[in-house]
Amino acid sequence: MITLTIDGQEVQVKEGRTILEAARQQGIPIPTLCYHEALAPFAACRMCLVELVNRRNGALAPACAYPCEEGLVVRTDSEKVRRSRRMTIELLLASAAHVPLIQAMAEDLGVEAPRYSTEPDRCILCGLCVRACDEIVGVHAISLVNRGIEKRVSPPFHIASNACIECGTCVLICPTGAITLADITGKNGGGTVHAWQSPFDATDCQVCGSYYQPSQLEKEVAR
């Protein structure tokens, strides 16, 4: 057993438990977005940052992934923590301004309106959908692609994917309602060839008259 102190309360936990698990055991609330009990910690959203008072020069660490240490003193609600969370939620609010969950979290932290231009997006890149598809379903139909401001959730090569089994687990786990199945499968009606893992529209060939060919190739063939 390990003894640590969270917000002045002494907590005893088994070795290997994270700060978040210890805090929950004690009933101390820590906000999370990218955390899910059925998935491995990801530490992407930075909402669960807590202050390690007596370690690492008082650095902030993600509670969902940081393992408890003997004698560790943690503050979950210090000014330093609140300042960090306010910044995080302000940026999230700018990128997903219309999401009720984000609005509610921002309100809790006293952030009214972001100082930055807002985007109509809903995705906060928490990666829950990607990890659920991987760890719960085992299908790997989507992944986080690109880096920095270009980063987004997408099927491979941004092409509608046939790997998706349309189970809707990503839709269910998404905290902001950013995903629909059509985003991944690109579902459309008849006249679709499911060619090599991705669907595309097909038309009659203008050259030979009888073949059924992908519409993208049509222009090339005619040329």
Partner 1 sequence: MSDAKLGLFICDCGGAISSVLDTACLETCARELPGVAFAQRLNYSCSPDGIETITTACPEQRIDRVVVAGCTPRLMSRHLQQSLPVAGDLIELADIREGCAWVHQDQPEQATAKALDAIAMAVARLGLRQARQPISGQVAPAALVIGGGVAGMTAALTLANAGQPVVLVEREAALGGTLTQAQRRNGVAGRIEQVTHHPNIEVALNSQVSDVSGTVGRYKASLTHSGALRSGGERQFDVGAIIVATGAPMASQPGASVLAHLLGIHQDQQGFYPEVRYRLRPESYAERGIYVCGAAHNPADQRETEIQAISAAFKALRHLRAGQVSNGAPVASVDPALCTGCANCVEPCPFDAIAMHPRAEAVDLAGIDPMLCTGCGNCVVVCPVKAISQPIDSDAQVLAQIEAALRSADGLSADRRVTSTNGAGGERVRILVFGCEWSGHAAAELAGANRLGYPVETRLIRLRCSARFDPIHILWALYNGADGVFLGACAPGDCHYIDGNRHAQERIATLSGLLAANGFDPRRLRLEWIVPDDPHDFVKKVSSFTELVAKL
Smallest distance, partner 1 to C-beta of residue 23, A: 10
Contact between 213 and partner 1 per CB under 8 A: yes
**Which of 8, 138, 148, 209 forms a contact with partner 1 (CB under 8 A)?**
138
* Region near partner 1 per CB under 8 A, out of 2-10, 53-61, 105-113, 159-167: 159-167
**Which of 91, 139, 144, 145 forms a contact with partner 1 (CB under 8 A)?**
139
Tell me how far the alpha carbon of residue 2 is from its chain's centroid: 31
Query: Mask of contacts with partner 1, 86-125, x by CB under 8 A?
Result: ----------------------------------------
Contact between 153 and partner 1 per CB under 8 A: no
Query: Mask of contacts with partner 1, 5-24, x by CB under 8 A?
Result: ---------x-xx---x--x
Phi and psi based region of residue 38 (left: phi greater than 0; alpha: psi -120 to 50; beta: remaining): alpha
**Which of 121, 181, 201, 203 forms a contact with partner 1 (CB under 8 A)?**
181
**C-alpha span between 171 and 140 (Å, rounded):** 15
Centre a 10 Å sphere on the Cβ of residue 211 and count the other Cβ atoms it contains.
Answer: 12
Q: Which residue has the tokens 């902030």?
A: 60
Contact between 53 and partner 1 per CB under 8 A: no
Contacting residues for 187 by C-beta, under 8 A, at least 6 apart: 160, 181, 199
Q: What is the DSSP letter of 126?
A: -
Contact between 2 and partner 1 per CB under 8 A: no
Task: Identify the helix (H) or strand (E) that includes residue 153.
Answer: strand 152-154
Q: Where are the alpha helices (DSSP H) in 138-208?
A: 169-173, 181-185
Contact between 132 and partner 1 per CB under 8 A: yes
Q: Are 125 and 34 in contact (CB under 8 A)?
A: no
Q: Are 132 and 153 in contact (CB under 8 A)?
A: no
Nearer to partner 1 (CB atom), residue 30 or residue 97: 30
- Binding residues (CB under 8 A) for partner 1: these are 14, 16-17, 21, 24-25, 27, 36-38, 132, 135-139, 162, 165-169, 171-173, 177, 179-181, 193-197, 211-214, 217
